[in-house]
């Protein structure tokens, strides 16, 4: 090997020292950046205070799974309520009329109370001068086994038609 001049060795030593100083400065800068990123990731606030990103994602996934279960339960309850409501007597119509020509005031009436399938009953009350008579007839799919008066047919038709139907 050739001996290097003292001046060349001094320059190499000075260059190495400068490189080492630059490496220390860059490592301090990188350390500060990583610390800043960690602080920003910890800045996520959860229900229990500050959380890391991983903790926030985990708790969000758990909450989402719980919400999905609740939604599925609510869907089941809604379907059950719809099925129950279909059997409810919720289609109602009342027809008032004068049963006898000599009386006024439309005191006689027929009321139809039906479910979604057209099943239910029709109630008729005929008001006279000295008495009132009341009749109830069963209805199946909008029809009755007993003969129906025109007012009873009209009440059933109105109940099945209903508002907005």
Which residue pairs, CB below 8 angstroms and at least 24 apart, start in 141-148?
Answer: 141/117, 142/114, 142/118, 148/122
List pLDDT tens digits, range 99-112: 887 767 788 999 99
Q: Which of 50, 70, 86 represents a domain boundary (last residue)? A: 86
List pLDDT tens digits, range 84-138: 888 888 899 999 998 887 767 788 999 999 998 899 999 999 988 888 899 999 9
Q: Are residues 78 and 107 in the same domain?
A: no
Among 40-54, 62-76, 126-140, 143-157, whose mean pLDDT is lowest? 40-54
Q: What angle do CA 123, 128, 134 make, to 5 degrees?
A: 20
The Cα–Cα gap between 139 and 122 comes to 7
Q: Are residues 64 and 109 in the same domain?
A: no
Domain that holds residue 110: 91-161
Whether 56 and 46 have beta carbons less than 8 Å apart is answered as: yes
Q: How confident is the model at residue 162 (pLDDT cuts 50, 70, 90)?
A: confident
3-state secondary structure of 45: strand
Q: Are residues 107 and 124 in the same domain?
A: yes
E-assigned strand segments in the chain:
44-46, 49-51, 91-97, 108-114, 120-127, 132-139
Q: Which of 31, 59, 86 represents a domain boundary (last residue)? A: 86
Residue 104, CB half-sphere, CA atoms under 13 Å: how many? Answer: 0
Q: Are residues 109 and 138 in the same domain?
A: yes
């Amino acid at each position: 090997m050739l001996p290097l001049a003292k001046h060349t060795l001094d320059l190499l030593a000075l260059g190495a020292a400068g490189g080492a100083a630059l490496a220390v400065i860059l490592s301090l800068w990188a350390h500060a950046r990583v610390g800043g990123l960690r602080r920003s990731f910890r800045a996520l606030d959860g229900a229990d205070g500050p959380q890391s990103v991983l903790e926030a994602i985990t708790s969000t996934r758990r909450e989402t799974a719980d919400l999905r279960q609740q939604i599925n339960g609510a869907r089941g309850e809604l379907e059950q309520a719809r099925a129950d409501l279909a059997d409810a007597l919720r289609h109602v119509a009342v027809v008032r009329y004068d049963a006898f020509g000599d009386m006024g005031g439309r005191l006689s009436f027929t009321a139809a109370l039906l479910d979604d399938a057209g099943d239910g009953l029709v109630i008729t009350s005929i008001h006279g001068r000295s008495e009132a008579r009341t009749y109830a007839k069963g209805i199946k799919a909008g029809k009755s086994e007993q003969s129906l008066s025109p007012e009873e047919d009209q009440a059933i038709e109105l109940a099945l038609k209903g508002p907005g139907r």
